[in-house]
Chain A
Amino acid sequence: MADSVAVKPRDAVTEPARGGHRSTKRSRREARAAYLFLAPWFAGLLVITIGPIVASLYLSFTDYSLLEEAQWIGWDNYVRMFTEDPRFLNSLWVTTVYVVVSVPMQLAFALALALVLDRGLRGLSFYRSIFYLPSLLGGSVAIAILWRKVFGADGLVNAVLAVFGIQGTGWVAHPDYALGTLILLHVWTFGAPMIIFLAGLRQIPSSYYEAAAVDGAGPLRQFRSITLPLLTPIIFFNLVLELIKSFQSFTQSFIVSNGSGGPADSTLFYTLYLYLQGFRDYDMGYAAAMAWVLMLIIAGLTGVNFLASKYWVFYGDTK
């Protein structure tokens, strides 16, 4: 998980060299022991991760129902996806809207709260825990069910709206709003990026602000000229992470729409459609092909992200 990637002070990374020349033999032996201890992990990686990945690449070129042997059909699955399957394109569209809207909103929200918490509030750790809580819960089944209740026709949201005389609709089950409720659910899980932002804010030397204040810079100017540039690596890190994570969102849509992606396919996430193809419609070959397309999309996006980062991410130590 991302949360453990706290930003360490830079000098802590370089460990003081211990023994110098004396121990090449010993270090070789230590390396061997290290590999030995790593071996189970490598075996697991090979058998549980890399093996299935290779197998799924093969399966993506087959017609495979799970119940019969896979039949090689070449590029058919990939061709079908882009030429004959409007639901595939729809699921791609739904997911893209979800990612493009929810990720920036979530990061902005996380940053705003991190700035507030960075003011040195009393009971900071308490607030930090409270705000972090949704991140732990957000992807869970229980919260998705809760969401269905809160945004239902007789839910909490409509009860509040009724106080103001507004007659709400069934938000989770209306094709125009259902995706919106899922986006809100995602934004609500701002805790993880918030914690990372907080750690990032703590890294910015207070002397910069003092100097800026002496020069007469107001809070807004300080934020724009000091906080934001120095925080860009953190923003970049959060952006990459959240983009990848939200493209793979599954639980929210699966639970809120009761496994259908409904109403009228308005919450049909890419991964949900993949799951339905593989496990309900007995078309595992197609599902495997979809998984590879998703991987390429995410890899492509992350690549673009890294390329673009050259133009806006500012590392203090690069010249």
Chain B
Amino acid sequence: MSSGKRKWSAALLAAALLAVTAACGGGGDGGESAGGTVTLRFSYWGSDARQKMTEEAIAKFEAKNPTIKVEGEFSDFDSYYESLSTKVAASDAPDVIQLEIRALREYADRGTLADLSSSVNAADIDAKLLATGAIDGKQYAIPNGANAFSLMVNPALVESSGQKLPDDTTWTWDDYVDLASKITAGSDGKVTGTQLSWNPAYLEIYAAQKGESFYQGNQLAMSPQTIKEWWAIMQKLIETKGSPDAAKSAEVGATSVDQSLLGTNTGAMGMWWSNQLGAAASASGQNLELLRMPKLEGATTGGMFMQPAMFLAASSKSEHAAEAAKFIDFMINDPEAGEIILSDRGLPANAKVLAAVRDKLPEADQKTLAFLDEVRSELKDPPAAPPKGASAMEDILTRYSEEVMFGRMTPDDAAQKLIAEANASIAG
């Protein structure tokens, strides 16, 4: 017998085997198995701690719904959208998708998400917060946590520099710059007053104090003047040493909150989302407080606002829409899920869940909650989700801000170019 023949048949066998396994791989997702159970795929990002909590919540859901199995697809934030968009492109979208507000319209406007208006009960969620997940009357996403962009301060560092905490109901941008530079001076430079932020939420708050909104439809709605005046605050901070110089600021700005000046106790103030207080406090090991953002003199509104920390949405291509809705409903409305997840996805958006878990929240989050309750009546309505193509906004804002801070562009020039590029990005 020729060994050639044997070789060929072995090859054929191998090829057949490959074909069979490939077929299995192609047909295996999300299908119903023999027992009548349905498998849902739930994609989300987060820390290892979040993965553990989520798995625990999933186990609870499965115990309550024996016919539904949920498979978590978990990644870190940096690579999350990369893998999510690839899955969508491959017609392999997960059934339940965690999203943040910047990405909402990128997905919703392209027909990726299902309308949940009639399938998920959202009665206990603040109507205005809920509205941020709706586009043209369709509820594409349900907020599961809330947040406000605010100012964090380390009272001990302010006092050790010979300064007093400001009265945040009346303080102005000038007071803020003044305090920051006095902290730096009063501590002989050991503590820097504050660090710069290029978060669009910060500019949004400032613009609101001038009576302007960030977006209007598919256009940037701020005047160049507003952006220039906003930059002037940061230029003055650098000048008066209330913040590090442009280079150090760019360096610090690229790190996360736990490596920030505030988080390393080398700075007394900084601006972040309120749910980052816990991370900042545990990095610093000292007591941190939240303050209202400073105001423009004579402004009628503080401009601060609540925003969903993240949303849950369902794929429009899901074969198990009812089960997906059921899972979202559980994650958002069931106090049992709330007790496991607590404030990990932002303070619960559902008022009843929040009331049920209130006392169990970690200390920093209780503080955040108290702060949000205090300022709630002053907040402006949550802004609508930014238009499709606005994912690049934070980068655009950072880039032109740095051009101005390093003195490589005049504020006039940079403001014009920023608006042009942002509008092109939104339109394109």
Is the pairing of A and B real?
yes
How many angstroms from the CA of A33 to the CA of B391 in the assembled complex?
A: 53
> For residue B428, which residues in chain A have a CB less than 8 angstroms away from its CB?
283
Given the known interface contacts A67-B112, A173-B254, the answer about A262 and B247 at a Cβ–Cβ threshold of 8 Å is no
Given the known interface contacts A67-B112, A264-B403, the answer about A153 and B392 at a Cβ–Cβ threshold of 8 Å is no
> For residue B403, which residues in chain A have a CB less than 8 angstroms away from its CB?
264
Are the C-beta atoms of A263 and B7 separated by less than 8 Å? no
Q: Which of B86, B112, B389, B408 contacts A281 (CB under 8 A)? A: B389
Q: Which of the four size classes fits the interface of chain A?
A: 20 to 34
Residue of A173, A258, A280 with highest tally of chain B CB at under 10 A: A173
Q: In this complex, what residue of A is CB-closest to B400? A: A264
Q: Which of B1-52 contact A (CB under 8 A)?
A: 4, 7-8, 11
How many angstroms from the CA of A303 to the CA of B305 in the assembled complex?
A: 58
Are the C-beta atoms of B110 and A68 separated by less than 8 Å? yes
Shortest Cβ distance from B428 into chain A, in angstroms?
A: 8
Query: Does A245 reach chain B (CB closer than 8 Å)?
Result: no
Are the C-beta atoms of A262 and B4 separated by less than 8 Å? no
Q: In this complex, what residue of A is CB-closest to B395? A: A260
Are the C-beta atoms of B392 and A175 separated by less than 8 Å? no
Interface string of A14-41 (1 = CB under 8 A from B): 0000000000000001001100100100
> For residue B64, which residues in chain A have a CB less than 8 angstroms away from its CB?
none
Are the C-beta atoms of B399 and A264 separated by less than 8 Å? yes
Shortest Cβ distance from A49 into chain B, in angstroms?
A: 18
Are the C-beta atoms of B406 and A259 separated by less than 8 Å? no
How many angstroms from the CA of A169 to the CA of B246 in the assembled complex?
A: 10
Contact count A vs B, C-beta below 8 Å: 94
Are the C-beta atoms of B7 and A33 separated by less than 8 Å? yes
Q: In this complex, what residue of B is CB-closest to A284? A: B89
Are the C-beta atoms of B110 and A279 separated by less than 8 Å? no
Interface of A is mostly: loop
Q: Which of A230-284 contact B (CB under 8 A)?
A: 257-260, 262-265, 276, 279-284
> For residue A148, which residues in chain B have a CB less than 8 angstroms away from its CB?
251
> For residue B89, which residues in chain A have a CB less than 8 angstroms away from its CB?
66-67, 284
Shortest Cβ distance from A194 into chain B, in angstroms?
A: 32
Query: Does B244 reach chain A (CB closer than 8 Å)?
Result: yes
Q: Which of A33, A67, A152, A283 contacts B107 (CB under 8 A)? A: A67
Are the C-beta atoms of A174 and B406 separated by less than 8 Å? yes
Shortest Cβ distance from B258 into chain A, in angstroms?
A: 14
> For residue A39, which residues in chain B have a CB less than 8 angstroms away from its CB?
11
Query: Does B245 reach chain A (CB closer than 8 Å)?
Result: yes
Are the C-beta atoms of B110 and A65 separated by less than 8 Å? yes
How many angstroms from the CA of A250 to the CA of B395 in the assembled complex?
A: 18
> For residue B255, which residues in chain A have a CB less than 8 angstroms away from its CB?
258
Interface of B is mostly: helix
Interface string of B62-88 (1 = CB under 8 A from A): 000000000000000010011001101
Q: Which of A67, A257, A263, A265 contacts B88 (CB under 8 A)? A: A67
Are the C-beta atoms of B392 and A280 separated by less than 8 Å? yes
Query: Does B172 reach chain A (CB closer than 8 Å)?
Result: no
> For residue A36, which residues in chain B have a CB less than 8 angstroms away from its CB?
7-8, 11
Q: Which of B230-254 contact A (CB under 8 A)?
A: 244-251, 254
Query: Does A172 reach chain B (CB closer than 8 Å)?
Result: yes
Are the C-beta atoms of A280 and B110 separated by less than 8 Å? no
How many angstroms from the CA of A33 to the CA of B249 in the assembled complex?
A: 63
Interface string of B393-408 (1 = CB under 8 A from A): 0010011001100101
> For residue A276, which residues in chain B have a CB less than 8 angstroms away from its CB?
392, 395
Q: Which of B280-319 contact A (CB under 8 A)?
A: none
Are the C-beta atoms of B254 and A264 separated by less than 8 Å? no
> For residue B362, which residues in chain A have a CB less than 8 angstroms away from its CB?
none
Nearest first, the 5 closest Cβ-Cβ pairs linking A and B are A173-B251, A170-B247, A173-B250, A258-B254, A174-B247
- Sample of 15 more A-B contacts, CB < 8 Å, known A68-B110, A148-B251, A281-B392: A29-B4, A33-B7, A153-B247, A153-B248, A169-B245, A170-B245, A258-B255, A260-B254, A260-B395, A262-B398, A264-B399, A279-B82, A282-B106, A283-B428, A284-B89
